[in-house]
């Protein structure tokens, strides 16, 4: 028999396992291996920084104002003076003085796209936060208590989900008669919470039967302790994925409402109302609609890439299930 087998110290050393690795550390590692998700995250970080710094960036770097009208101004292009807005009402296109052109009122499109990012991101973020709060409360109550509470809340959620989101949003906008940023945030929260409530209910129905919940009950833990100390930490992953993907949907929905005239109202710049303002002249002043549309496209795609990357990182087998 070897000395190693007889040595208690060696036996104890062999029982030493690898250092504990946090599940979130593995999740971040898997997310970091997704190049498309990282590219989307980089774009979103840059966009958020640009939007936050818009009051400084636009006047000091671009030398413009998102609200100033240059209808009567002239600028020099290729050594000759050119009207910012011609006598026919046609604004100047992309040029050194207006990198993305001017709109029908002679305002700088690039400046308004940047300020529109502030509005779209703020509305999307706060609308998603409101939907998260409502969806979590309803999903937790419905899945944890079941019974009559689950029946009433589930049927209400089913009824809400039977109505197309855009039609429901337009109806709410008509009833609230708003047009301000805060009214749009309220509308986005009220039409999107049902999806999270359904997800949370399904997760809670599964988690409440697990051994750790029974153990918590055995030691005298109350409902509040079980909900917030034991169930909520297990819902972080689905909530993060939903929030990321919901922000993409909220940007599209806000843009649609503003385009239809029931969302953000001018002169507050929004990507949706910028597109609406230029639709009548898209064949001769294409830049008014193209660049806000590209901003929506790139932002929504980036949010979707990050959301898909987070879902694959949190649930490593989700990509294979989607592809099968």
Q: What's the pLDDT at 131?
A: 93
> Sorting pLDDT into bands at 50, 70 and 90, what band is 20?
very low
Q: What's the pLDDT at 215?
A: 85
Q: What is the mean pLDDT of residues 59-65?
A: 87
Q: Does the pLDDT value for residue 220 go beyond 80?
A: no
Under the phi-then-psi rule, with left for phi > 0, alpha for psi from -120 to 50, and beta for the rest, what region is 89?
left
Higher local confidence (pLDDT), 129 or 178:
129
Higher local confidence (pLDDT), 140 or 5:
140
Q: Does the pLDDT value for residue 13 go beyond 60?
A: no
Q: What is the mean pLDDT of residues 257-268?
A: 86
Q: What's the pLDDT at 7?
A: 52
Burial tier of 271 (Cβ tally within 10 Å: 0-12, 13-18, 19+): buried
Q: What is the mean pLDDT of residues 95-109?
A: 90
Q: Is residue 32 in a domain?
A: no
Higher local confidence (pLDDT), 68 or 24:
68
Within 13 Å of residue 283, how many CA atoms lie on the same side as its CB? Answer: 1
Q: What is the mean pLDDT of residues 200-222?
A: 82
Summarize pLDDT for 161-177 with one digit per residue, the tens.
Answer: 888 888 888 888 888 87
> Sorting pLDDT into bands at 50, 70 and 90, what band is 228?
confident
Q: What does 264-279 look like in DSSP terms, one character per residue?
A: SPTTS--HHHHHHHHG
Q: Is residue 245 in a domain?
A: yes
Q: Is residue 204 in a domain?
A: yes
Percent of the chain with pLDDT over 70: 90
Q: Does the pLDDT value for residue 136 go beyond 80?
A: yes
Contact 160, 97 (CB under 8 A): no
DSSP state of 234: G
**Model pTM score:** 0.84
> Sorting pLDDT into bands at 50, 70 and 90, what band is 5?
very low
> Sorting pLDDT into bands at 50, 70 and 90, what band is 316?
confident
Average predicted confidence (pLDDT) for the chain: 84
Q: What's the pLDDT at 318?
A: 55
CATH code, domain carrying 240? 1.10.3720.10
Summarize pLDDT for 26-43 with one digit per residue, the tens.
Answer: 778 888 888 999 999 999
Q: Is residue 27 in a domain?
A: no
Q: Is residue 14 in a domain?
A: no
> 241 is written with which tokens?
């994925």
Q: Does the pLDDT value for residue 266 go beyond 80?
A: yes
**How many CB atoms within 10 Å of residue 58?**
20
* Domains of the chain: total: 1
């002239």: which residue's tokens? 74
Q: Is residue 122 in a domain?
A: yes
> Sorting pLDDT into bands at 50, 70 and 90, what band is 14?
very low
> Sorting pLDDT into bands at 50, 70 and 90, what band is 115?
very high
Q: Is residue 291 in a domain?
A: no
Q: Which domain holds residue 55?
A: 46-68+115-271+297-323
Higher local confidence (pLDDT), 288 or 81:
288
Q: What's the pLDDT at 15?
A: 47
Q: What's the pLDDT at 260?
A: 87
Q: Is residue 120 in a domain?
A: yes
């Amino acid at each position: 028999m070897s000395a190693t087998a007889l040595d208690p110290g060696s036996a104890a050393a062999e029982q030493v396992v690898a250092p504990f690795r946090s599940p979130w550390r593995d999740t971040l590692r898997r997310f970091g291996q997704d190049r498309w998700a990282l590219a989307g995250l980089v774009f979103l970080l840059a966009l958020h920084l640009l939007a936050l710094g818009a009051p400084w960036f636009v006047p000091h770097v671009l030398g413009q104002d998102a609200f100033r009208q240059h209808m009567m101004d002239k600028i020099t292009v290729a050594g000759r003076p050119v009207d910012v807005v011609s006598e026919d009402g046609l604004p100047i296109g992309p040029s050194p003085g207006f990198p993305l052109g001017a709109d029908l009122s002679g305002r700088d499109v690039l400046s308004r796209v940047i300020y529109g990012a502030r509005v779209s991101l703020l509305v999307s973020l706060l609308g998603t936060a409101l939907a998260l709060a409502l969806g979590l409360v309803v999903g937790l109550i419905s899945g944890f208590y079941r019974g009559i509470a689950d029946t009433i809340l589930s049927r209400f959620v089913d009824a809400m989900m039977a109505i197309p989101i855009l039609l429901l949003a337009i109806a709410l906008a008509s009833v609230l008669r708003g047009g301000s940023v805060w009214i749009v945030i309220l509308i986005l929260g009220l039409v999107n919470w049902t999806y999270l409530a359904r997800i949370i209910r399904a997760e809670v129905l599964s988690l409440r039967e697990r051994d750790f919940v029974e153990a918590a009950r055995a030691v005298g833990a109350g409902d509040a302790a079980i909900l917030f100390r034991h169930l909520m930490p297990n819902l972080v992953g689905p909530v993060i994925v939903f929030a990321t993907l919901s922000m993409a949907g909220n940007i599209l929905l806000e843009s649609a409402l503003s385009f239809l005239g029931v969302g953000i109202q001018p002169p507050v710049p929004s990507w949706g109302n910028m597109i609406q303002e230029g639709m009548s002249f898209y064949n001769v002043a294409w830049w008014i609609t193209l660049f806000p549309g590209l901003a929506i496209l790139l932002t929504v795609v980036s949010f979707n890439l990050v959301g898909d990357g987070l879902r694959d990182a949190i649930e490593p087998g989700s990509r294979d299930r989607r592809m099968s």
